[in-house]
A and B are shown apart, each in its own frame.
Chain A
Amino acid sequence: MRNRKMAALTTVPYVIWMALFVVIPLVLIVVYAFTSKAGGFTLQNFSAMGDYAKVFARSLWLALAATVICLIIGYPVAYALSKMGPSFQRTAIMLLMLPMWINFLLRTYAWMSLLENTGLINTFFDNIGLFDLINKIALSLASDPSAYQPIDHFQMINTQGAVILGMVYNYLPFMIMPIYSVIVKIDRSMIEAAQDLGADSVTVFRKVIFPLSLPGVLSGITMVFVPSVSTFILSKLLGGGMNMLLGDLIELQFMGGAYNPYVGSAISLVMMIIVMICMTVMNRFGDGEDQAVML
């Protein structure tokens, strides 16, 4: 009994920390979201969000696209990785995690200098004469050659594509890791049992490995989608400010010219609810006690 009390005591710093920096701010957000500038109760902050419907839609769309791309790229990698020898697996995982050791901002700046109109990629294409070639072909096909505008770069920076690229680049490991860790734990004898019962390798994958890897897939989806939908610096740096996302919008309400913490809180609250709905749906899908969703 005494021991249990002592054990409970050791959690006090954590509880105080959480109360101060998580619970109280959450309560404040809820309070602010329902408060008018004058200080009274209002629902105005939520109706004001209608102006930002486009931002909501764009955020959800870009996050969804990034998640799907991460899944398409990440699943085969995770599956292939689980089939390799143990030392290869260790090295590959280390390499996967390596970019994570570099600051997020630095990585994004690096992408900027790669994608810019006069950046590395465009310069490279220019040097190998790709644009000259394209111009020549286009000119010969054009019906009105005099109206043809020759190109000297691909527009990569400041596009939605660049934002999605940034999300995929930054969050891909969070898709690969949970899927890999689930697949690698699948009991080998279950796969042999399926082969024994007449399943060729495609059927083994379809009927055994894939269904058993779903908890990892769900976990990966959550771990990519949630940070993607709330990311804020990526769109500014890679999307050129024209592709404002929810995170940027919230920042704008608190720090920027549109200063309105009441609307900002309301947006934050709605975003939290969206994320919670996503997680609940995910958890419902993978209704097993060995659920791998963690965040």
Chain B
Amino acid sequence: MSEKLINLENIHKDYGGKVVLDNINLYVRDKEFVTLLGPSGCGKTTTLRIIGGFETPSAGVVYFDGKKINDLPPHKRPVNTVFQRYALFTHMNVYDNIAFGLRIAKVSENVIKDRVTNMLKLINLPDYAKREVSSLSGGEQQRIAIARALVNHPRVLLLDEPLGALDLKLRKEMQRELKSIQQQVGITFVYVTHDQEEALTMSDTIVVMNKGKIQQIGTPVDIYNEPKNAFVADFIGESNILDGVMHKDRLVSFCGKNFDCLDSGFEKDETVDVVVRPEDFEIVPIEDAQLVGTVKSTIFMGVHNEIMVETEDFTWKVHSIYNAEVGDKIGLFLTPDDIHIMHKS
């Protein structure tokens, strides 16, 4: 039981008939960094709020450390939350904001002072104790919100898109910082985001959600390399997704050609989704190519060019350092492990 710190079993949630969560089964291990990832409206925030106690599931059981906590109100749960828009108390200064939880727990003011001071050091804002919340930038408010939650030494920290309002550079910086804070304090993080890159860089485990259902649970590497279905493939990273037919184990046909692949266990001639990552293409001389197409457009993206290649049946997105000109004929080559086959969902 102690293996699973938080355990959600068969969670359903609907608002007046509209199903928001459909049979969610999920567990979080101690000291794990778990990310709930999905597009807006997929139910990830609702799942987090159920763990925090702000929503009650319509059906199903929430366990914390083996004990059922469905009916435990938020103020009695050993978890703390970093809210999407920080939700700092605007009528208090930074110190009082961070001290809020400790004062309610009746910790002595001396201890509070130590812990708040340490926390301000941890978030790199050591001189901010007396500042008014309204005078802080988004990034600073964000750190205060994290400090306010962490100072209570929660077993689990819940984070609801905490970096959503920050600009790209600051977001990257905070991603690294959050990860290092998590490792320093050694507690469990449950993190909600719609940003797949954020999920890939920070998490131990990613839970991909869509339309109230869990699509896949796995490590970032698993999720990226072995997406379970077309949705996950499309949502995590970029993908070319097209129809194909699985003739037999390890042989698929698409674009009118047969390709060797590594997948098996499909029915004979089953219609499947074929997924190819844009960076997996090799650009080869036309005579060696499996697919030949015309360059429709090419965009410089920094580390690579994004080349759209039109073949007879499909327009492929290809990432390559190769410099192509619009109108060029180029050849594409795929090895068997570049081709991912998925059941139609």
Contact = CB atoms under 8 A, between A and B. Distances in A.
Given A189-B83, A196-B52, A203 B74 contact: no
Interface in B90-130: 90-91, 100-101, 104-105
B73 A194 contact: no
Given A192-B74, A197-B148, A212 B90 contact: yes
A295 B89 CA distance: 28
A266 B320 CA distance: 88
Nearest to B76: A198
Given A192-B74, A203-B104, A207-B100, A197 B90 contact: no
Given A193-B83, A197-B100, A211-B91, 9 more contacts: A189-B84, A189-B87, A193-B81, A196-B52, A196-B75, A196-B149, A198-B76, A198-B101, A198-B104
B58 to A, nearest CB: 20
Given A190-B87, A212-B91, A195 B104 contact: no
B171 interface: no
A198 B73 contact: no
Interface in A192-231: 192-200, 203, 207-208, 211-212
Interface string B70-89: 00011110011101110111
Nearest to A289: B134
A266 B79 CA distance: 64
B105 A187 contact: no
A220 B160 CA distance: 37
List 7 tightest A-B contacts by C-beta distance, closest first. A197-B101, A189-B87, A193-B87, A195-B74, A198-B104, A196-B81, A211-B91
Contact of A192 (B54, B76, B79, B148): B54
B152 A198 contact: yes
13 contacts: A189-B84, A190-B88, A192-B87, A193-B81, A194-B100, A195-B54, A196-B74, A196-B80, A197-B101, A197-B152, A198-B75, A198-B76, A212-B91
Nearest to B85: A189
Nearest to A203: B104
Interface in B126-171: 148-149, 152
Interface residues of B, number: 25
Contacts of B152: 197-198
Contacts of B91: 208, 211-212
A210 to B, nearest CB: 10
A214 to B, nearest CB: 8
A236 to B, nearest CB: 43
Interface string A172-204: 000000000000000101101111111110010
A199 B87 contact: no
Nearest to B73: A195
Contact of A197 (B53, B80, B84): B80
Contacts of B90: 190, 212
B104 A197 contact: yes
B30 to A, nearest CB: 20
Nearest to A189: B87
Nearest to B80: A196
Task: Choose among A192, A198, A212 the residue with the greatest number of B CB atoms under 10 Å from its CB.
Answer: A198
Task: Choose among A187, A195, A196, A200 the residue with the greatest number of B CB atoms under 10 Å from its CB.
Answer: A196
Contacts of B74: 192, 195-196
Contacts of A212: 90-91
A199 B83 contact: no
Interface string A79-119: 00000000000000000000000000000000000000000
Given A192-B54, A211-B91, A212-B90, A199 B104 contact: yes
Contacts of B80: 196-197
Contacts of A190: 87-90
Contacts of B75: 195-200
A252 B87 CA distance: 56
Nearest to A188: B87
A5 to B, nearest CB: 36
B79 to A, nearest CB: 8
Contacts of B105: 198
Nearest to B100: A197
Interface in A149-169: none
B45 to A, nearest CB: 12
A199 B89 CA distance: 13
A186 to B, nearest CB: 10
A39 B101 CA distance: 68
Contacts of A199: 75, 100, 104
A201 to B, nearest CB: 9
Given A192-B83, A197-B101, A203-B104, A208 B54 contact: no
